[in-house]
Chain A
Amino acid sequence: MSALAGLLRKEVYHILRDRRTLIVIIVLPVLQVIIFGYAIRTDVDHVRLAIVDPAPDTVTLAIRARFNAAGVFQDVALVPRIEPLEDLFRRGAAQGALVFEAGFAERLARGLPSGLLIIADATEPNTGSIVASYATAVIQGYQQEAPPSRGAVHIVPSVRMRFNPTRESSNLFVPGLMAFVLTIISSLMTAISLTREKETGTLEALLVSPLRPWQIIVGKVAPYLVVGFASVVGVIFEARLVFHVPLRGSLSLLLIEGIVFILVSLSLGILISARTSSQRVAMMGALIGTMLPTMLLSGFIFPLESMPWPLQAISVVVPARWFVLVARSVMLKGVGLAYLWQPTLVLLVMALVLLTASTRAFHERLDQ
């Protein structure tokens, strides 16, 4: 046991002596969450709207006034014909357009239908549909103010947005960012620490020492677990204070799940470095093996439900997927273990499997 304590002390010295790396490890996650928290959003507001109104009259002016009052639209151009629109859209100067038919009010007064066209730039389909649905809602609002005729049927949906009533996208992305940033930092830390020992040849010294493989792993993981925990606490604070993400569930549950998740990422780093020979390959492996899958297959940016089934199946083995789920559920839905036992179990099993696998990887090295 004293041998293990010795190794632990050595690792702590390593971490503490290398001030620059220590600061990077603790500050980088906090910094990244700030930058990306402001950058990764999908809210649609300040929609740049072009208006084609060949012959302005009372009705078109009233509808245009409604668009101004809606708050999400911003007039960028008023043109008499539809042709210039193409150019505005291509340059990205307009995201949406409202096209009135000439003689709009007059036709309505005579009881004829008047044509109104909404054009949305659907290059990005999500923004395109949102722009179209906002514009449709404004027109429908205008129409509903007219006195209802007899015999008209209305089904009035009352909508409740649960868990995120303002639909703020930082509430969605910040908990996901936590998982993303923590994965990369943790798996990188252990990967580099172990391969450094390999390259400098000190790993051989460790291997011939009376330390057992599991003790080496514990000695490598434990100190970094503490560092990782510090950045979890930092990131949670930041989510509350900077982005005002609600924390509806229990803080201690979130912290414990955070520790389990860091344990998984650290052991992933160890496994990668146990399998590779040089620092460069280890870094490439740790980064490519974790960065792209975590970014795309964890549901952190893109909803998993929308992906084709093979990708959904692959996402099951991405640890961040489960932590993203847990972090969002605890923070936004305020649910407890009763709802989260499944992802928690998956994370625990992953930690166990990865730790065992990395311990075995060391056994094999001893056999060689």
Chain B
Amino acid sequence: MRRILFLARAEVLHVVRDRATLAQVLVVPVLQLLVLSNAATFLVTNTPTYVVDFDRTSVSRGLVNRFRASGHFRVEEQSASPELANEALLRGDVTMVLTIPHDFEATIVRTGTAPIQLTVNAEKGSAAGIVQSYASSIAAAYASELEASVHGASLGGSEAPPARGIPRIDLRVRSWYNPALNYKYYMVPGILVALVTLIGTLLTAQNIAREKELGTLEQLNVTPMTRLQFIAAKLLPFWALGMLNLAIGLVVGAVVFGVPMRGSLLLLFGSAAVYLVAALAIGLWISSVVDTQQQAMFVTFFVMNVYLLMSGLFTPIDSMAPWVQTVSQLNPVRHFVTISRAILMKGAGPADIAQPFFVLTIFGAITLALAIRQYSKRVV
């Protein structure tokens, strides 16, 4: 045990003495958390809209005003020229064109049903669907508003609601866990995981490779240290650093972004303890496989790239192709991102996260065994 502590102390001193590294591991993650959480949002607000109003009546203007007032749309330009609207769409100045046909008001008065046309730039896939559903609900709300005023006029302001033949379903929609649809609540717990992983893995991946380059690994090899002790000593300081980073990040998340913490923090840190062993052991394993720091960086960045983009951090796992979903089961980042979001946002308890936690535990055990096996004291 004393041997482990000695080597661990040496590692700590390495990090603490080098001011640049210290700043890199403590300050940079906080800055990145602050910046990235603002960048990562799919939220659709203020869709720039072009209005082509052929009707120019009070009813058509009323519709345009409802779009304006909804907060989801911003009317950029307005004219009676579909060509100009098309130009604006092609240039990318607007995302939606709302076309109100001639005789819009007249048709509504005569038949009660009138068309409008929405042309959406669907380049951005799912965002276009959301834009469309906002627009449709504004149109529907305006229609029932008109209906009420028509009835109000014909019934002379009678208070009784108009009798109707259609069954009324009282439809309510509720968004659980994130009623304000705040993207930061979703992103902060994820980005936190990414940063802790990135830094821990980079540092450990470089670690043994550097000792190889400097030749100090040979000195360690001739000491009576066992392989297990060696790996444990290399792991401990970075593990503690990862936990510290997580704690700092959580404080920043709570103070700056107001991220909810519905579940037990103890559970979160307990899962992090297991997760970090898995993540760092991968770094150590890479480090003992490669010969130079450069190779270590290369491999780590490739692995990180795949890890982050396939973890469900930025785009949901459920949307991935089925075979990718299966492959991503092998990604420890995926499981810890799931756990962290479930605990913080949904208030999940031990039973709810049992499955990903179990996978992480197995993962940690396997990668640790691999790292210990891979590190041999023999110089090849």
Contact = CB atoms under 8 A, between A and B. Distances in A.
Interface string B20-48: 00000000000010011011111111101
A307 B144 contact: no
B126 A114 contact: no
A356 interface: no
Interface in A290-321: 291-292, 296-297, 301-303, 305-308, 311
Nearest to A166: B122
B358 interface: no
Interface string B307-346: 0011000111011110110001000000000100110011
Interface stretch (B2-10, B134-142, B230-238): B134-142
A149 interface: yes
26 contacts: A39-B321, A41-B321, A42-B125, A43-B319, A46-B318, A90-B347, A118-B171, A120-B173, A122-B175, A122-B178, A123-B346, A125-B175, A126-B43, A129-B133, A129-B175, A147-B166, A156-B114, A156-B116, A157-B115, A157-B135, A161-B132, A169-B125, A172-B124, A292-B32, A302-B39, A339-B91
B113 A156 contact: yes
Interface of A: 32, 35-36, 38-44, 46, 59, 87, 89-92, 95, 108, 113-130, 132-133, 135-137, 139-140, 142-143, 146-149, 151-165, 167-169, 171-172, 192, 279-280, 283-284, 287, 291-292, 296-297, 301-303, 305-308, 311, 325, 328-329, 332-333, 335, 339
B162 interface: yes
Interface string B69-107: 000000000000000000001111001000000000000
Given A39-B324, A122-B176, A311-B38, A169 B116 contact: no
Contacts of B160: none
B316 A137 contact: no
Nearest to A129: B130
A35 B310 CA distance: 9
A283 B298 CA distance: 8
Given A35-B324, A167-B122, 14 more contacts: A32-B305, A116-B169, A125-B42, A125-B178, A143-B166, A151-B150, A152-B164, A155-B139, A157-B118, A160-B118, A172-B125, A291-B301, A311-B35, A325-B92
B45 A306 contact: yes
Interface in B109-168: 112-130, 132-133, 135-137, 139-140, 142-144, 146-147, 150-151, 154, 162, 164-168
- Closest 5 pairs (CB-CB, A-B): A122-B175, A161-B122, A133-B133, A125-B181, A38-B321
A48 B183 CA distance: 22
Contact of B166 (A128, A149, A291, A306): A149
Given A133-B133, A161-B120, A42 B176 contact: no
Interface in B36-65: 36, 38-46, 48, 63
Contacts of A42: 42, 125-126, 315-316, 319
Contacts of A108: 167-169
A118 B305 contact: no
B257 interface: no
Question: Counting chain B CB atoms within 10 Å of each CB, which of A42, A125, A130, A302 scores highest?
Answer: A125
B275 interface: no
A167 B38 contact: no
Nearest to A87: B352
Interface string B170-194: 1111111111011100100000000
Contacts of B316: 42, 44, 124, 126-127
Contact of B294 (A128, A161, A280, A308): A280
Given A127-B318, A147-B165, A169-B126, A162 B121 contact: yes
A114 B151 CA distance: 23
B348 interface: yes
B229 interface: no
B297 interface: yes
B365 interface: no
Contact of A163 (B121, B170, B174, B315): B121
Question: Counting chain B CB atoms within 10 Å of each CB, which of A129, A136, A297 scores highest?
Answer: A129
B146 to A, nearest CB: 5
Given A92-B342, A291-B301, A296-B39, A153 B172 contact: no
A136 B320 CA distance: 24
Contact of B348 (A40, A90, A124): A90
B374 interface: no
Question: Counting chain A CB atoms within 10 Å of each CB, which of B41, B118, B129, B183 scores highest?
Answer: B129
B273 interface: no
A332 B123 contact: yes
Contacts of B113: 153-156
B117 A160 contact: yes
B306 interface: yes
Contacts of B38: 307-308, 311
A91 B352 CA distance: 5
A153 B146 contact: yes
A36 to B, nearest CB: 6
Interface string B270-291: 0000000000000000000000
Nearest to B348: A90
B129 A130 contact: yes
Contacts of B361: none
B171 A164 contact: no
B176 A126 contact: no
Contact of A151 (B114, B124, B154, B293): B154
